Structure 1
Amino acid sequence: MPTPDLPRRRGLLAALLLTLAAFALLPSAASAASDVPNGKPLYQDGPSGRILMNGPWLFRLDQQEVGLSQHFQQQTSTAGWTGVKVPNAWNATDESLASFQGSVGWYRKDFRLPSGDKNLSWVVRFESVNYRSRVWLNGRPIGSNRGAYLPFEVRLPASVLKRNGTNRLVIRVENHRFAYDFPPAGLSIAGAPTGGWWNYGGLLREVYLRKVDRLDFSTVVVRPDLPCATCTASVLVRATVRNAGPGSVRARVTGHFGDKKLDLGTTVVPAGAFRTVGETIKVGSPKLWAPGSPNLYDVELDAAARPQGAGRAKTLQTYHLKSGIRSIKVVDGHLMLNGRQLNFRGVGMHEDDPKLGFAITNAIRDREVAEIRDLGATMVRSHYPLHPYTLEQFDRYGILDWSEIPVYSVKTDELKKKIVRQLAANELAENIHTNGNHPSIVVWSIGNELSSRPGAVQGSYISQAVRTAHTLDPSRPVGLAVAGYPAAGCQDEYGPLDVLGINEYFGWYPGPNGQVADRTALSSYLDSVHACYPNKGLVITETGAEANRDGPVEEKGTYAYQQDFVNYHFGVYATKPWLSGAIYWALEEFRVRPGWQGGNPRPNPPIHQKGLISFAGVKKPAWYDVQRIFKATQQLRARARHAGA
């Protein structure tokens, strides 16, 4: 047999080595030995001491739900576990009905602490876990959570934590969704799956290990108040600190807002207790934050332990954020930013990727922000709170955010349960606590497409939620997005709201009894909404048409139809000077649910194809129409007569 030539033999050897090297880089159970987390945070705002829990993780799917009976949380062997990277959506590429309906997965991280110092305590922060989670450390239960899209933290008990050995963190995640969840999911009367977007399971955003040296910032509030566009601003700076140490600490909180020094005060914090300190400062001739001029102020707070004698205080933790001075309010039925009328043009957004599902990276977030800016949009709406890095980018680039909690299409029979309304209000409060320092957020939205004919049940929820939001943050208006139908009429239950968002699809969906089938009825319908609510800020929160193919303009689902749709609808909006803005739904395509049609006679389930950019990343022809419309629109108008800031 002829001997292969030397170059070919070398080529085969090189290919083999490259293949082996590639496998070596993949996470595996064998390589999941304990490590010391050392990753940098993926976003800037927040306390010092955050360490990204990078490196190898372990995962195992538990479709039969035997993990608890077989004590997965106590296993020390890696048998049965597979190496993964976190963030992770275990069903990122599985578009089956079983995937959408949910399952149970287990995550495990074997790690060693970066320091064995006995004076330190440790916290694990989960940025988003979908949906129900239980947490163990070294086989002992230490916490649980329900919900997604907002972070939760678990303290690592000193009695369980190994300071100089390997710790085993285990999280059981269940992503079955029910009619009372946010968002709800289940089966329709006909047995079809229901739900607003794909039900990804897992540790969908990153996980951090937080080092705490006695004092820990629990919450930080930086809230500017701008009486008028040329007025001196007042800025409330308030911090709540917790003492995680064994004895009382005399704590002093100082820092700066821009070039102004802050001294929030000194307070004695007993072990395990919380104390709040604060200060209000004046900022003359402030540099205002707005689209086109997103001026930001650097804010830093230091929590120090101050001795009783003459010794120097020791800084134990620092909190950093960027703040923007601006006012947002409704005046005479119009949203006003710094005393100027908003007439924004924006897009909806869902975090989704063909390969990663919801567990996207900052590089993908940067791409989305670049697309938003290129489109000429100044507003973004999602059905849930976005990743903190995305919000920081909105702050940086002057992009407004309609911040909504996922109280999406919750049926009245579920909403009438007091516990469901309370959980929804709690979700709103947590969103405000978590994201309230971002100047880009201009509306707190309490939900989307509840019944368009609200009764006492929804009225009770609206009143409770608006009261909660105004109490926690009196500086921003509160809104709700509703499905727009002419027969809905005027609703007294919307009275407490500052802003009403209208989801309108005239000429796309037929609506109840064909009410919205004729697009020429759009103009008169919008006038009727304005007549019902002349003193509320009115916004188009959704509109759009599916498009996935070439074809005639008369045929739904074609690129030409989508182009004609956006030109007609945004043309109507331009004739309504009382509108405060309009949002196209959505920027990019995303997965919805098995069997999704979206009004398209030739759909591609489960993909929502109203997006201006396909799931593969290709801009559709309508992108350029929307871009032209958005860039030609004056989105921040001159100060209206008699309108305040």
Structure 2
Amino acid sequence: MTEPATTQMRGTFDVKVTAPADATSMCIYVDGVQTSELTNAYAIATKNSPVWQTVVSTTWFHPGWHTLRVVAVTDHGQMELSRRVQFAEGASADSLNGAWRFASADDLAVGAMQGEHPTVVDAAFRDEAWKQVLVPNSIDAVDSRWMRDQGLLGTYRRMFVVQATKDELYLHTESCFWSCRYFVNGKEVGNAQGGYLPRRMRITAAVHPGVNSLAVIVDSRASTMGVFNRLRYYYWNYSGLLQSISLEHMPKAAVTEFRAQGAANGDLTLYPFGANASGVSAQLHAEVEVLDEHGGTALKSTHVFTIPAGQSEMEPLQLHLDAPKLWDLEAPHRYTVRLTFSDGRTLEERTGFRDIRIQDGDLMLNGKPVLGLQGFDRHGDYPGLGKSQPDGLADREIKQLHDKGYRIFRPAHYPTTTAELDAADKYGMLVLEEINVTGLSGTELASPEVLAFAHGQLERLIARDRSHPSIFAWSVGNENRTDQPGSDVYVRDVIGYGKSLDATRPFTEVSAQLRHDICYAWMDFLAVNIYAGWYEPKFSDVVTELDELEKYAPHKPVVITEYGAEAVANRMGLGKGTEYYQALTVDQHNRLLKNRAHFIGKMYWTSTEFVVGPKWDGGNPNPVPPFHTKGLLTYYRQPKLGWRVMFSPIEMDAIGAISVSGALPKQHKVRIVLRNREDHAVQGRFLITAPDGATTSVEDMPFALAPKGEMELAFDLTFNKVSAKSGNYGMVRAVVDDDTEALPVPLQIEVK
């Protein structure tokens, strides 16, 4: 076990193991609770070496000493190692994260999870033989037995203790995929559908002092998902209690949470949510305090909150802060809003002050046009965790992407976690957040089922995430058939509903229909997926499509929400499916779209690789299903050539094939121009590899370029013999550092 390297753990930490070459899988446990399973499936598919690494969060467990155990399965049996570690921080007192029991339908009697009162949820049901697993989890990632292409039906169970109390009790779950039913002591207390967004359920009447049972039936089977089963084509639909679950104690009437949204002029709107079990309207007095980044008080006042009976969003509260520091990409200033109630309860929310609007064909942030940002799309999929990413992992990965230079992204194709949005707020990145309505026909989009689902998802999404200044717009779907009748009904209706919930942000629907889309009239800006050089024949097609879109839907800013190319890590060659071709795609888009007017930017699809399904090919001539390999980072988070090329300050001009004929040996002079695109000096090294049968006069030499400067690299290739075999090429690299280089120039041979 190479990581963790210490016994003292806080927050998210890596677990990394060096394993024998014949290891096929590895299970991670904390105190006997299985947190994840790693397999060699990716290594086999891509013909790379396996990396046995995942993460664990201390916030999933109680503070104190724990046993971290790893069990590896090899061709010669099991191997095991363990280590005692101390968690300096852990789960909050109301958390229900940690050890649960889980069983799939295969483990149970037929019908045990069916009907109004399933036997499997009874308080006295015996579950001792079930596997003990961590919650939160993507159950498919905990144990590969449960990784089913057509989904899974299963049940989670645990016990919890409640002391005698006059409080109201609520069950709060952040994400359960796809369809979920919740039972306390055998009584159904609520349900949810669609995943990714929270639910709060009052469970007071179902709970008694002492030990109580909690059961959750999860169902992600294709038959249950109905029309939304189409999502399986786009990404692996991880099942389970994907994020945290907790037990909340509240007074009879309480403000349960609130959101805060600041404008550049200093206006601050609070959106409180209340729960009131008294049956009549109630009033609560609270002190409202706005704190700056240093903890200083920027505003303090007292207000009375009126809470209607039941659970509902309350009347917004309007405040004003004089001359706030604005949130923007270079200086993402944030403020904390704190509510302190007369009974001592406190609630806090972070936000920023900024303005987003569409003006004169541009997206404006605080009155300045947003132009040419480089971005990415991101699926929440991590080895051993699936979509159950802990907060520390989200922060780590968003920071890495920000530090690289990315400034805009889309968490595709579903709502992300609040931790990922917190990271975007903190580091200064714009986010286009989306509801999970993807790939549907016009008829399906216009159906009452889909319209109701979209309304519900959008309402819950905006209610949860409107505090985040990083969110510049909402998307009502991805790659739906918005060229078909019925799609206009959907886009007009859902965007209209969205604007009634949040009039401060633009709305769009991510389209792959381009000039055939019939719904642009209801979108504030165009978000389009264009795979020039991949699904489209030429890289220059991206310019043609954008030029035509300007005529088809004039006066609207445009962002490319997807472009890219599949690339299997370390696959040799120059054609599709190789690292070189992916890097060429990156470089060509950088060159072709530079300084384009009214162009918000482009988001590379995707930042990291992820799991799709057993039939995925993605246009790759030699695919590696079930893995989607358009990512700039591998599934193991290793950088590919495209990652290094994306923000290179230098570029080299391509050269034609080198013609070799006549008697050997023969010498050929190679000349390549290196150019600095930036206003600062750049230095690095040329690394030259000759084709088979040739030698080069120089293999490694330094270079230094003045701001906006250029130079010529000249060297000799001497051909002693000529190989006409496929794939015989050399390469010239201009490397700035380990993480940055120009698109290499191939030295291709033409034998005559």
TM-score, length-scaled by structure 2: 0.70
Q: Identify the residue that residue 176 of structure 2 maps to in structure 1.
A: 129
Match status 1:459 vs 2:505: no
Match status 1:241 vs 2:274: yes
Match status 1:162 vs 2:208: yes
Alignment of 1:322-471 (within 5 A): 322-343=350-371, 344-382=373-411, 383-455=413-485, 457-471=486-500
Alignment of 1:614-625 (within 5 A): 614-625=634-645
Alpha-carbon separation, structure 2, partners of 1:494 and 1:301: 41
- Segment of structure 1 superposing worse, 622-631 or 282-291: 622-631
Alpha-carbon separation, structure 2, partners of 1:38 and 1:533: 53
Say how many residue pairs are matched: 562
Alpha-carbon separation, structure 2, partners of 1:153 and 1:426: 14
Residue in structure 1 matching 2:139, options 67, 79, 90: 90
Q: 1:522 to 1:121 in 2, by over 3 A?
A: same
- Segment of structure 1 superposing worse, 58-67 or 496-505: 58-67
Alpha-carbon separation, structure 2, partners of 1:379 and 1:179: 35
Q: CA deviation at 1:579?
A: 0.5
Q: 1:274 to 1:94 in 2, by over 3 A?
A: closer
Q: Which has the larger strand fraction?
A: 2
Q: Secondary structure at the match of 1:52?
A: coil
Alpha-carbon separation, structure 2, partners of 1:633 and 1:426: 47
Q: Secondary structure at the match of 2:519?
A: helix
Q: CA deviation at 1:148?
A: 0.6
Alpha-carbon separation, structure 1, partners of 2:383 and 2:257: 36
Q: Secondary structure at the match of 1:519?
A: coil
Alpha-carbon separation, structure 2, partners of 1:176 and 1:353: 22
**1:394-440 residue CA offsets vs partner (Å, 9 max, x unmatched):** 11111211101111112223223122112112211110011111111
Q: Are the counterparts in 1 of residues 168 and 250 from structure 2 also a CA contact under 8 Å?
A: yes
Alpha-carbon separation, structure 2, partners of 1:278 and 1:98: 44
Match status 1:27 vs 2:72: no
Residue 206 of structure 1 aligns with an amino acid whose one-letter code is S
Q: Secondary structure at the match of 1:124?
A: strand
Alpha-carbon separation, structure 1, partners of 2:300 and 2:247: 29
Alpha-carbon separation, structure 1, partners of 2:154 and 2:605: 32
Q: CA deviation at 1:268?
A: 5.5
Q: CA deviation at 1:112?
A: 0.5
Q: Are the counterparts in 1 of residues 568 and 579 from structure 2 also a CA contact under 8 Å?
A: yes
Q: Are the counterparts in 1 of residues 567 and 582 from structure 2 also a CA contact under 8 Å?
A: yes
Alpha-carbon separation, structure 1, partners of 2:448 and 2:590: 40
Q: Are the counterparts in 2 of residues 263 and 279 from structure 1 also a CA contact under 8 Å?
A: no
CA RMSD of aligned residues (A): 2.9
Match status 1:52 vs 2:80: no
Alignment of 1:57-68 (within 5 A): 57-63=100-106, 66-68=111-113
Q: Secondary structure at the match of 1:548?
A: coil
Alpha-carbon separation, structure 2, partners of 1:96 and 1:555: 36
Q: Are the counterparts in 1 of residues 273 and 311 from structure 2 also a CA contact under 8 Å?
A: no
Match status 1:101 vs 2:150: yes
**1:454-484 residue CA offsets vs partner (Å, 9 max, x unmatched):** 42x1111111111122111111111111115
Q: Are the counterparts in 2 of residues 264 and 279 from structure 1 also a CA contact under 8 Å?
A: no
Q: Secondary structure at the match of 1:381?
A: strand
Alpha-carbon separation, structure 1, partners of 2:489 and 2:455: 11
Residue in structure 2 matching 1:582, options 602, 610, 613: 602
Q: Secondary structure at the match of 2:139?
A: coil
Match status 1:211 vs 2:249: yes
Q: Are the counterparts in 1 of residues 238 and 387 from structure 2 also a CA contact under 8 Å?
A: yes
Q: CA deviation at 1:624?
A: 0.9
Q: Identify the residue that residue 340 of structure 2 maps to in structure 1.
A: 302
Alpha-carbon separation, structure 2, partners of 1:251 and 1:532: 54
Q: Secondary structure at the match of 1:611?
A: coil
**1:315-371 residue CA offsets vs partner (Å, 9 max, x unmatched):** 3x3221111000111111111111111122111111112222222223422331132
Q: Are the counterparts in 2 of residues 39 and 51 from structure 1 also a CA contact under 8 Å?
A: no
Q: Are the counterparts in 1 of residues 258 and 349 from structure 2 also a CA contact under 8 Å?
A: no
Which stretches in structure 2 are left out of the alignment for 5+ residues? Answer: 1-27, 35-59, 64-91, 292-296, 651-675, 680-752
Residue 252 of structure 1 aligns with an amino acid whose one-letter code is H
**1:46-94 residue CA offsets vs partner (Å, 9 max, x unmatched):** xxx9722133211111137532356110143234322111112221177
Q: CA deviation at 1:245?
A: 4.4
Q: Secondary structure at the match of 1:149?
A: coil
Q: 1:275 to 1:496 in 2, by over 3 A?
A: closer
Residue 482 of structure 1 aligns with an amino acid whose one-letter code is S
Alpha-carbon separation, structure 1, partners of 2:306 and 2:512: 51
Q: 1:50 to 1:146 in 2, by over 3 A?
A: farther
Q: 1:181 to 1:302 in 2, by over 3 A?
A: farther
Q: Secondary structure at the match of 2:222?
A: coil
Q: Secondary structure at the match of 1:495?
A: helix
- Segment of structure 1 superposing worse, 58-67 or 145-154: 58-67
Q: Identify the residue that residue 284 of structure 1 maps to in structure 2.
A: 322
Alpha-carbon separation, structure 2, partners of 1:478 and 1:208: 32
Residue 112 of structure 2 aligns with an amino acid whose one-letter code is G
Q: 1:341 to 1:269 in 2, by over 3 A?
A: closer
Q: Are the counterparts in 2 of residues 342 and 580 from structure 1 also a CA contact under 8 Å?
A: yes
Give % identity: 28
Q: Are the counterparts in 2 of residues 262 and 279 from structure 1 also a CA contact under 8 Å?
A: no
Residue in structure 2 matching 1:250, options 283, 289, 293: 283
Q: Are the counterparts in 1 of residues 102 and 130 from structure 2 also a CA contact under 8 Å?
A: yes
Q: Secondary structure at the match of 1:527?
A: helix
Residue 121 of structure 2 aligns with an amino acid whose one-letter code is Q
Q: Which has the higher contact order (CA 8 A, sep 6+)?
A: 1
Q: Secondary structure at the match of 2:221?
A: coil
Q: CA deviation at 1:169?
A: 0.3
Q: Are the counterparts in 1 of residues 441 and 484 from structure 2 also a CA contact under 8 Å?
A: no
Alpha-carbon separation, structure 2, partners of 1:445 and 1:541: 11
Match status 1:478 vs 2:528: no
Q: CA deviation at 1:183?
A: 4.8
Structure of higher CA gyration radius: 2
Q: Identify the residue that residue 563 of structure 2 maps to in structure 1.
A: 543
